[in-house]
Structure 1
Amino acid sequence: MSTGGSIKSVRIGVDVGGTNTDAVAIDPSQQYEPSRGVLAHHKTPTTPNVTEGIEKAVRAVLEKSALPTARIASVTVGTTHFINAVVEQDARRLRRVAILRLSKSFLREVPPFSEFPPGLTSIIKGYVGYCDGGLHIDGSEEAPIVEAQVVERCSEIKKLGLTAVVVVGAFSPIDEVFRQEDRVKEIVLREIPGADVVVSHEVAMIGLMERENASILNAAILRYAKRTVKGFRRAMKALQLTCPLFLTQNDGTLLDSAAAAKIPIRTFSSGATNSMRGAAYLAGHETGNSSAIVIDIGGTTSDVGVLLPSGLPRQASAYVTVAGVRVNYSMPHLHSIGLGGGSIVRQTDGKVSVGPDSVGHYLTRDALVFGGKVTTASDIAVAAGKTDMGEKKAVEHLEQDLVIQAQQRIKSLLEGAIDIIKTSPEPLPVLLVGGGAVLAPTSLAGASEIKLPPFYDVANAIGAAVSKVGGIVDVIQGVADQSVIQAVEYAKSMAIQRAMDAGAIKDSITIAEIESIPVTYVANQLRTIVKAVGELDINMQPEQLDDEADDGPDEEPEAAKDFAVKIADEPPVDPCTYTPTVVENERTCVQEWWISVTDINYLADGCYVLGCAGGGSPAASRIQLRDILRAGHKMKVIDASALAEDACIYWGGHMGSPATSNERLQSLETVHAFTALKDYLRHDSFDAVMGLEIGGANGLEPFLVGSSRFFDSPVIDGDWMGRAYPTYWQTTLAVHAPGELVPCVIDSGDGKTILMTKASNDEIVDRALRASCAEMGSRVGMAAKPTTTDRVRSFGVLNTVSLAWRIGRCIAKAEATNTLSTVAEAIVDQVGGAKSAKILFRGKIVNVERRLFKGHSYGSITIAGLSAFEEDSSAENIANRLPAVVTGGTLNIPFKNENIYAEHTAEDGTKTIIASVPDLIAVLDTGSGRSLGVPEFKYGFRVTVLGITCSPRWTDTPAGLAIGGPKAFGYDMEYKPLGEYVEPRSVIEEFAVA
């Protein structure tokens, strides 16, 4: 940073923690001096009135440094103040919010607040309205904005007295032309003067539900954030500081105070990021060419993260949860362990444990060195001569063996955390910060070196002070008329410009992160996410809030905190005792499984596992079906054996890109397609409905069309794949009865329907429909040629609905009983045992490659074997754990929307194919037990790879392997069965009432 000759060269950083508020005054131009440019620092207890604490801490550093205020270039604050109001459901600080969704034909089936905690919903939910608008995935307009509609919605909002409004449109983050959300915002501000309007594209990226959730939280906290930021500004005035005020963002960059007051959610989780940024600065790692591990040891926990060569933290996966709400803004990827200065040390039967429980902020009362009676990790550090705090004589009585064992346990805990957070076996530098950093040993396995930089205990405030300025873009571009390189360069130029607009010095800007993701099932579309960062231009004068402006009716002094009982979530159903409802239809004498909300939850998780990383996420479908059931509609499942011999059976599902589903959510395209085909064939009704594939979201689609809300037809316990495949013609029906796919219909859900009546072969059906799908918004519902009872029984993969339910129940049971470490073993048992299914590998994802070809997402993941530290090695889990087919080395899994094969590379370089299509290869997130789809494949995820033997419908004829085996995907390898197929047990058969 080129500020050495400037009179305004000093930056003040403040970090407001739950226990302490830290402040520093720092001159970054002196970073490589022994002082690191730190002119003064101060730590003070965090006060209920956060502004008073900040003013006190900053006043202290100004007095200690004797700095004239004219030399202060900026003040930067990192605070958990805003997120605490949301987490605590503090009604004093949250407002009711009105939501306006923009889409003419979509977004109605999965409403806002669908997955909010009930207590938060009761405080925040004010109004939901819909207006024409929205974009398609290629950036074209789904429908234009109709001003009269917006005016009418505004009238309804005004009648409710609401002044916080969220505007969210389909694909708004890529809306560079029509600016629909901004246009609606202008109308709302005209109709409701003084309203706070949040446009979703300014808050988060693609993924409508998560972006909307983040925008709702942002709007709810907005007035309180403005008032708080103004309080910060008034504190600066009291200190006679006239420099700009900034707040730190979750991703390690700065927001000016006016922007922070508009988008406070971006500051929600910046504390850990500040510590990592401070560590990078203090250790001189900002100019490094390699990654480093930062361990921030506090009073209760240690947060471990990876610092990238850019000096910014490695980010968590696309979706994170805040206060029980799923959002998609940037947050650092952290692994936390129960080790801190207050961790309680115990000795039982000669073995010493450290933590995870802690005396926390009572350290100065309870620890031995402070006159207490509890042996803590800090006492061990004093006894070992590692630090000087409190009264050293108070720990002289501790036995040497206890001190040595406790230090060894601390070392083991930290080494395990390092191993978990790393994505490669090579050792990395470790930077230690936080008040408890003195606990760490001088050497750690996995660390190439250990640095305990000066001022480590105020690294969080230093990180705030030296934060950079960033610009981020998330854009989908066509690559038919430009190269991929050109598309990426355009995205980079956009990010650089946004960083400059945010106050970065142009010559200092670098590209910190870049990711290009092909859009599946859509020809020539590329999604690119780019982050650019640069040094703050201290001569810039950012927009500031009007500190004296009235904030409206809640400007009066804040009331006492309301500790009234909040609305609690409904108690979850116990999966260990839950019984599905199977009853006999009095008219037909057929046993029917009546689906409940619990069943839908199990089915959603199970279908995603059977999707083999494809089929699309069932999340939105699950909410849609849940709400249909809650509205009193019925869904039922029957066994294929219960079908009448002359039954007319409709089947189908979705076709298109999951990326479209992420914005349009779940809609009624399949219902429209079924209606169109029924009209064409002049059928008054049909007898049952069956799924195209059980894998992913398509596994739930039959329940939508078969519900009493629409066609009131039972769903057959079976499908045409037993998994998910990327194309419509890769079905067991096409294997055993070619030519049975037409006539069929696809429908876009917004008024476009195509009927295909003839085809020369089954593959051309898929190719023709997929080309049409791309022109119809890249997502359609499909209704295939009705089939017969004989074909279902002879060629269908049966009892797969039951199988999905059983797999989902396994995951629910594991959550309820804290046995997620062995959920894969439970799934193996449910799908037929070790002869039918196997755990192929355990490890963590260390590489993800993606590319686009003819509308399909191709790529691969590489999974490295787990070390001893990463394995859950408790005696109980070892006893219950099945051995993996292979261990050590790496596993490579190529995918074409779905996983194709698993190839193991041993440590000596030997390569072995251990599973391939048509057998099922599922990648489970070891932490949650749930399946990861291709969009969720991320570096660092710990995973368990599961293999399940496919139905003999795929293997009892050469045509099955030709259509669904490795050669169908262009791989010249012979299929080797994973095991013996075991037909899943029918839920109806098991739970039928005699």
Structure 2
Amino acid sequence: MARSVRTLRIGVDVGGTNTDGVIIDPSRSSEPDRGIVAWHKASTTGNPSDGINNAITAMFSKSKIDPKEVASVTIGTTHFINAVVERDATRLAKVAVIRLCGPFSKGVPPCIDWPSQLRELVLGHYCLVDGGLEVDGNLIAEIDEGQIRKQAEIIKAKGIKSIVVNGIFSPVDILYKQEETAAEIIQKIFPEADIVISKDVANLGFLERENAAILNASIMSFAKKTISSFRSAISRLELRCSVFITQNDGTILLASAASKLPIRTFSSGPTNSMRGAAFLTQNDIKEAVMVVDIGGTTTDVGLLLANGFPRQAAAFSEISGVRTNFSYPDVRSIGLGGGSIVRKHDDGRLTIGPDSVGYQLPQKAIVFGGDVATATDYTVLGDATSDIGDRSLVLQTNMGNNLSEFKAVVKKMLERAIDTMKTSANDIPVLLVGGGAIIAPDSLSGASKVVKPEWSGVANAIGAATARVSGIIDTIESTESKTSSEVMETISKRAIQKAIENGAKAETVQVVEMDHLPLQYIANKSRFIVKAVGDFDFSQDRLSGAQATKEDIEQDDMVEFEKGSSAAKEFATEEVTSIVADISSYKPEIRGREWIISETDLAWITTGCYILGTGGGGSPYGHMLRLREIMRNGGIIRVISPDDLKDDDLIACGGGKGSPTVSMEKLAGDEMMQAQQELYSYMNVKPNAVIALEIGGGNGLQGMILGASTNMNIPTVDGDWMGRAYPVAWQTTPVVFEKKPVFLPSTICDGNGNVMFMTQATSELMVERAFRAALSQMGSHVGCAKGPVSGKNTKSWVVEHTISLSWRIGRAVALSRSLNQIDTVAESIISEVGGHESAKVLFKGKIVGVERTLRMGHVYGAVIIEATNVTSAEESVQKERIKIPFKNENILAIREEEDGSETVLASVPDLICVIDAQSGEAIGTPEYRYGLLVIVLGIVASEKWTSTARGLEIGGPRGFGMDDVKYKALGKFQKPRSVIDEYSQSNGRGL
């Protein structure tokens, strides 16, 4: 009997192997059958339109429903991300990039960090023109219509139809709308162009947002054809309903909108499975759950939060080697699936995967008459009731001797994967979905219960059918006249309204995520992120843009997606290799007594610098890219030992000063170099070498950037003035040893025409206060040049060989990764910094709480870490917690005892470093977030800080206002080994 209103929803997931479909009546979702009217699983076709048509037709045939009862069709697809991963020239268009940036970012051009072949395939043109905003919303520069018109003509002449416009701080540009205005100018000159404005694609993070926008623009033409194909399939089925595409975060876009923002669909597959699992268990589980999606080749594990949406990944994610910052689910994959190949080795070990027979399971598995032992074969062997294949075929083998070991290995692999994704030591429900879920055991350590819901094989299609509508606001707002809570309330209302504008039913919308991040050195400014979601309002007329046009149907006849060009095949088989062939045998190049930095050296130094940043200093990533570009353009980076300095040498010093939030959006221009030029022009002298102000964070690379620049061309000293990162520039070793001002005169430049000198001061603290006060009026980020120090004093005051130390730490991390030994990366780092007398693992666990507040320009706060197993599912679970207070950088590590008391495990000036347990990379204080798996390292500080009372007063707990904490050394300081001393003896050269 036909229903009087449209109530049915169709979900289709178009995967690389299978196309799954489901028809759901959401009004019956609480019933035992969850309202599932029909479902179907079939092979994906070359033209996805045919596969969608086949799946829906089959379901109509089974259920005998009337197409008029269907309210929506929601489609999830991997086609768009596959085109990028496969680097298919037939699907990826050339892109032109117009930056609205004024004098900034020229040292880091578009696609600078992309894999070279993908960059050559996609980037067709770029230019830098006037425009951009400061963090407070003021203009860096107005856009110049003449410049934009000229570039549009050039792009049109090149025949590039996909264009990206990216402006500095464009996500907070509400008043000037520079990106929108530029797009309008381009469109008038080049009407047939597809223009992507970056603020529509992603949020704060200039380079990452631009990367996402470029990928989006490159795939847009192909996406339009694909979505036309989808709409054509729906039209041919005579369905008059809304058509949606699923997004990465578990919400939906109208098909017309998705054709403009295809990048938002890139990781919708795992998200759909997680949302589908939640739907299937909605009446049974009302808490956060772990979803384990077992396919033919891999198992994807993700945490589904109590709000029904997947936990999102950290600030940045990579797609085929391209770093982006758009919303992406936090999913970990392991090489375990139904088609995983099982091997019994000569040494007696049994291994599963990571290789798999994949879609050839029905031909190659023993249970189907093949000759390859797979996980499915062992599963059938252990289940006498299984109806998969012919069980007698596996009974004829000797596989039964290994059955118990197989089950143990599967169990251990799943338990480890689940444990790494948990956010507390407590047991958590585990939902098993996917066609390969049969290989999983019925109980798992760390799981409060294991649930294999009915219809789990089409959970991805169910997730698509039940997806909701979202509205997200990511903005920087003033808290001068309102409290943070009042501002958050206002932004929450904006997010709710945005969800309604996107099609949500008003009474169903609720806020599901909110975050508040105070900005360093910026008075009364904070970043607020709010997400609201709700059910789609089917009472609205949403058919516009959702139905197939005549053009859609005509294009559909020409669409074929299985075949790629020869270029696609070439890119798809490209091997991703390490920077060096053999890390353990690599030797840096030493010419005489100068270390010539290679790209391998730079990569390792970058990793080490961020770890030595002790949570602060800002990410060195953008600086690394700039330095690498200098090297690729012929620049030579030379590093010398402080031991080789002459007493009368002049050693320059410089770096960035300001908010890391600003530096991730307003990429450096010439302000660092300009500050040096202004200073030495004023002094009428020339420095002989340059030294980093601090080795920790982004400033750790600034010495090499300045030294290698065309104007200076001087070597960089292997050392710095901190041996780490500190919040303020007066916390330096020269200030420890000299009470009168050391670095005068000093200069700061904002890169936009404003220069400030400090020629006299009563102390370095006064210089710091004056420059910090000027920061907010100069864009909250400046280049700073410190007055030179003599070679004699440098040798007395320097924290020695810290570039060497960074290199060794980075090498240890790289080697651990290459050997798949990340679980011992902490121990590898410890051995490089002097052994267990000089460093130790303070804690391993997960972040369970983060508090932040802004005082005097610095972000103060504390991160709470709860101990749990981060490497093996077999270790006993601990219940300990530590707290790490920070002031931009980590100050203390405090263990919280069971009786409520606290024990200080480590304090400044010793280094307290928090690293990602999954990668070995540093985690900065702005990146702390709930659920992140971490290792806390303690490293003994240089004796330059600990040997005198003044050193401890400036760099110890008292320097942070903690007079009640007494410094107790973690161990004995071990002077870092000089790379120059070690490798000049063997005259080694880099590979």
TM-score bracket relative to the smaller structure: over 0.9
- Please give the per-residue CA displacement for 1:925-955, whole angstroms capped at 9, x wherever unaligned: 2222222212222333332222211111111
Give yes or no for contact 2:743–2:787 (8 Å, CA) kept in 1: yes
Q: 1 CA distance for matches of 2:409 and 2:222? A: 44
Query: 1:229 offset after TM fit, Å?
Result: 0.5
1:594 — aligned with what?
596
2:638 is the counterpart of 1:645: no
Q: 1 CA distance for matches of 2:560 and 2:273? A: 31
Comparing 95-104 with 493-502, greater Cα deviation is found at: 493-502
Comparing 544-553 with 70-79, greater Cα deviation is found at: 544-553
State the AA in 2 paired with 1:388: D
Q: Secondary structure at the match of 2:840?
A: strand
1:242 — aligned with what?
240
2:5 — aligned with what?
7
Query: 1:956 offset after TM fit, Å?
Result: 1.6
Counterparts of 1:199-210 in structure 2 under 5 Å?
199-210=197-208
2:916 — aligned with what?
925
Q: 1 CA distance for matches of 2:292 and 2:555? A: 44
Q: 1 CA distance for matches of 2:954 and 2:846? A: 31
1:303 — aligned with what?
300
Comparing 212-221 with 561-570, greater Cα deviation is found at: 561-570
Q: 1 CA distance for matches of 2:576 and 2:192? A: 35
1:42 — aligned with what?
40
Query: 1:289 offset after TM fit, Å?
Result: 4.7
1:526 — aligned with what?
526
1:168 — aligned with what?
166
2:143 is the counterpart of 1:145: yes
2:323 — aligned with what?
326
Q: Secondary structure at the match of 2:946?
A: coil
Counterparts of 1:537-548 in structure 2 under 5 Å?
537-542=537-542, 543-544=544-545, 547-548=549-550
> Which segments of 5 or more consecutive residues in structure 1 lack a partner in the other structure?
585-590, 874-883
Comparing 394-403 with 317-326, greater Cα deviation is found at: 394-403
Q: 2 CA distance for matches of 1:553 and 1:453? A: 40
Matched residues, percent identical? Answer: 46
Q: 2 CA distance for matches of 1:806 and 1:400? A: 48
1:876 — aligned with what?
none
Q: 1:6 to 1:338 in 2, by over 3 A?
A: farther
Give yes or no for contact 1:742–1:784 (8 Å, CA) kept in 2: yes
2:617 — aligned with what?
615
Q: 1 CA distance for matches of 2:900 and 2:372? A: 52
1:691 — aligned with what?
692
2:950 — aligned with what?
959
State the AA in 2 paired with 1:727: V
2:982 is the counterpart of 1:985: no
Query: 1:317 offset after TM fit, Å?
Result: 0.9
- Please give the per-residue CA displacement for 1:504-552, whole angstroms capped at 9, x wherever unaligned: 0011001111111111232211111111100011123334167344999
Q: 1:765 to 1:43 in 2, by over 3 A?
A: same
1:435 — aligned with what?
435
Query: 1:107 offset after TM fit, Å?
Result: 1.6
1:912 — aligned with what?
903
2:903 is the counterpart of 1:903: no
Q: 2 CA distance for matches of 1:868 and 1:789? A: 46
Give yes or no for contact 2:231–2:552 (8 Å, CA) kept in 1: no
Q: Secondary structure at the match of 1:784?
A: strand
- Please give the per-residue CA displacement for 1:121-150, whole angstroms capped at 9, x wherever unaligned: 121110001111101111222111111110
Q: 1:778 to 1:5 in 2, by over 3 A?
A: farther
2:579 — aligned with what?
572
State the AA in 2 paired with 1:737: E
State the AA in 1 paired with 2:701: L
Q: Secondary structure at the match of 2:912?
A: strand
Match for residue 65 of structure 2 among 56, 64, 67: 67
Give yes or no for contact 1:602–1:812 (8 Å, CA) kept in 2: yes
Q: Secondary structure at the match of 1:663?
A: coil
Query: 1:68 offset after TM fit, Å?
Result: 1.2
Q: 1:231 to 1:863 in 2, by over 3 A?
A: same
Q: 1:393 to 1:550 in 2, by over 3 A?
A: closer
TM-score by length of 1: 0.94
1:655 — aligned with what?
657
Q: Secondary structure at the match of 2:109?
A: coil
Query: 1:501 offset after TM fit, Å?
Result: 1.2
Q: Secondary structure at the match of 1:786?
A: strand
Give yes or no for contact 1:27–1:38 (8 Å, CA) kept in 2: yes
1:626 — aligned with what?
628
1:562 — aligned with what?
565
Query: 1:330 offset after TM fit, Å?
Result: 1.3
Give yes or no for contact 2:115–2:321 (8 Å, CA) kept in 1: yes
Comparing 123-132 with 545-554, greater Cα deviation is found at: 545-554
Comparing 248-257 with 138-147, greater Cα deviation is found at: 138-147
2:512 is the counterpart of 1:515: no
Q: 2 CA distance for matches of 1:871 and 1:504? A: 42
State the AA in 2 paired with 1:519: L
2:387 is the counterpart of 1:388: yes
Counterparts of 1:446-525 in structure 2 under 5 Å?
446-525=446-525
Q: Secondary structure at the match of 2:724?
A: coil
Give yes or no for contact 1:734–1:741 (8 Å, CA) kept in 2: no
Counterparts of 1:825-974 in structure 2 under 5 Å?
825-867=827-869, 870=872, 889-905=880-896, 911-971=902-962, 972-974=964-966
2:677 is the counterpart of 1:705: no
Q: Secondary structure at the match of 2:919?
A: coil
Give yes or no for contact 1:888–1:906 (8 Å, CA) kept in 2: no
- Please give the per-residue CA displacement for 1:548-590, whole angstroms capped at 9, x wherever unaligned: 4499999966695223434776862243333323224xxxxxx
- Please give the per-residue CA displacement for 1:153-195, whole angstroms capped at 9, x wherever unaligned: 1111111111110000111111111111111111111110111
Q: 2 CA distance for matches of 1:432 and 1:718? A: 52
Match for residue 759 of structure 1 among 753, 758, 761: 761
Q: Secondary structure at the match of 2:690?
A: strand
Q: 1:646 to 1:229 in 2, by over 3 A?
A: same
Query: 1:966 offset after TM fit, Å?
Result: 1.1
Query: 1:791 offset after TM fit, Å?
Result: 1.9
2:806 — aligned with what?
804
State the AA in 2 paired with 1:227: K
Q: 2 CA distance for matches of 1:314 and 1:517? A: 18
State the AA in 1 paired with 2:442: T
Q: 1:354 to 1:832 in 2, by over 3 A?
A: closer
Q: 1:955 to 1:197 in 2, by over 3 A?
A: same
Comparing 965-974 with 126-135, greater Cα deviation is found at: 965-974
- The alignment yields a C-alpha RMSD, in angstroms, of 2.5
Q: 1:894 to 1:714 in 2, by over 3 A?
A: same
Q: 1 CA distance for matches of 2:349 and 2:835? A: 38
Q: Secondary structure at the match of 2:665?
A: helix
Comparing 503-512 with 930-939, greater Cα deviation is found at: 930-939
Give yes or no for contact 2:9–2:71 (8 Å, CA) kept in 1: yes
Q: Secondary structure at the match of 2:789?
A: coil
Q: 1:371 to 1:288 in 2, by over 3 A?
A: closer
Q: 2 CA distance for matches of 1:648 and 1:97? A: 47
Q: Secondary structure at the match of 2:794?
A: helix
Q: 1 CA distance for matches of 2:540 and 2:642? A: 71
Give yes or no for contact 1:15–1:21 (8 Å, CA) kept in 2: yes
State the AA in 2 paired with 1:32: S
Query: 1:228 offset after TM fit, Å?
Result: 0.7
Q: 1 CA distance for matches of 2:942 and 2:296? A: 54
Give yes or no for contact 1:118–1:569 (8 Å, CA) kept in 2: no
Query: 1:446 offset after TM fit, Å?
Result: 2.2
1:583 — aligned with what?
591
Query: 1:353 offset after TM fit, Å?
Result: 4.9
1:881 — aligned with what?
none
Q: 2 CA distance for matches of 1:57 and 1:555? A: 19
